[in-house]
Amino acid sequence: MSKIDQSQFEWIGANVSDAESIKRPSTTYWKDAMHRLKKNKAAMVCLFFIVFIILMSVIVPWVSPYTISEQHLTHTDASMFFKDSTDGHMHIFGTDTLGRDIFTRIWAGGRVSLFIAFSAVFINFIIGVIYGGISGYIGGAVDNVLMRIIEIINGIPYLIIVVLLMMVLPPGPTTMIIAYATVGWTGMARLVRGQIMSLKQQDYVIAAKVMGAKPSRIIGRHLLPNTLSVVIVNLTLAIPSAIFTEAFLSYIGLGVPVPLASWGVLANDGSRVFQMYPSQLIIPAICISITMLSFNLLGDGLRDALDPKLRR
């Protein structure tokens, strides 16, 4: 093998313009997270279903020619896509045992179920973030006392609280929200406490303390914003749990009272005539299942999108 002559090569040097150029466009953390979320097809499909269910739950009860309690005893237990000869309107999902339009009751029930779930989770978010932020930042004896309180609350079964509240408060969505929020915030508080305890030793927090920042400002401006990604994922995964809890309580008769409708109430009514009219149970069960599955898959997508370790 012949030796390569050094004269065949020329030293060019470093290209300063290419070295200082920005190869990747500058972006923020949230823009990058949303960009990665849009690439997750399953999460975007689930987000579409969630938006669709919310819009239908809001719009259909307003524009429907029927109300949730309007009875048509001349055509009870009608099949799907039954057309009423008296007024010309169609019952898309049929009617129930009392002749009430199931399509209207499904979306009115979705409004009640989603309202209870979102309200309860929002209250849990507020209480859990404040409680966990204080406990994690102060630490020491205060943290021990606050954590023991959470352990005591977790030891009380949720159903017992609901039954006791039903005895002193009128049954309805408000009572269910209060009952769920009474004990549901403990998981959020523990999550926020753990995040705060790991973040409060960071350099920017120590620098804020040295500059004389108050604890409320450090928690509100430096610590809590850095826990939002984990909190948002937890909220997304907590909503289907709240929906299932509402449906379960309404199914066993401890939830939404008559004549209000919720998916649990509709499933309870449909289970009584399931052998003869299975669609009256299958339809609310599908709504509950699709909603819970959509929130769970969206939560998984958000967890991947908000994880900075997965950024490329």
Tens-place pLDDT, residues 181-219: 888 888 888 988 888 888 888 888 888 888 888 888 887
φ/ψ of 26, rounded to 5, equals -70, 140
User: What pLDDT does residue 1 have?
Assistant: 59
**CA-CA distance, 122 to 129, in Å (whole number)?**
11
Counting residues of the chain whose pLDDT is more than 70, the rounded percentage is 92
Flag whether pLDDT at 17 surpasses 70: no
**Under CATH, domain 28-310 is a member of which superfamily?**
MetI-like (1.10.3720.10)
User: What pLDDT does residue 72 have?
Assistant: 79
Flag whether pLDDT at 108 surpasses 70: yes
- Cβ count near 177 (within 10 Å): 22
User: What pLDDT does residue 16 have?
Assistant: 64
Residue 287's nearest CA partner among 232, 240, 234 is 240
User: What pLDDT does residue 197 have?
Assistant: 86
Mean pLDDT of 95-112: 88
Flag whether pLDDT at 5 surpasses 80: no
User: What pLDDT does residue 51 have?
Assistant: 93
pLDDT digits (tens, 9 = 90+) for 234-261: 888 888 888 888 888 888 777 787 777 8
pLDDT band at 140 (very low <50, low <70, confident <90, very high): confident
**CA-CA distance, 251 to 32, in Å (whole number)?**
42
What residue has token string 């430096």?
A: 222
Identify the weakest region by mean pLDDT among 60-74, 150-164, 298-312.
298-312
The interaxial angle of helices 279-305 and 102-138, nearest 10 deg, is 30
**CA-CA distance, 180 to 185, in Å (whole number)?**
9
User: What pLDDT does residue 54 have?
Assistant: 92
Flag whether pLDDT at 126 surpasses 80: yes
Flag whether pLDDT at 58 surpasses 80: yes
pLDDT band at 23 (very low <50, low <70, confident <90, very high): low
User: What pLDDT does residue 168 have?
Assistant: 80
User: What pLDDT does residue 26 have?
Assistant: 65
Query: Which pair of structure tokens corresponds to residue 32?
Result: 């990058």
Mean pLDDT of 79-93: 78
Mean pLDDT of the chain: 83
Better-scored residue on pLDDT, 29 or 143: 143
User: What pLDDT does residue 50 have?
Assistant: 92
**CA-CA distance, 292 to 298, in Å (whole number)?**
10
User: What pLDDT does residue 145 have?
Assistant: 92
Residue 112's nearest CA partner among 54, 173, 66, 52 is 173
pLDDT band at 15 (very low <50, low <70, confident <90, very high): low
Three-state DSSP state, 83: strand
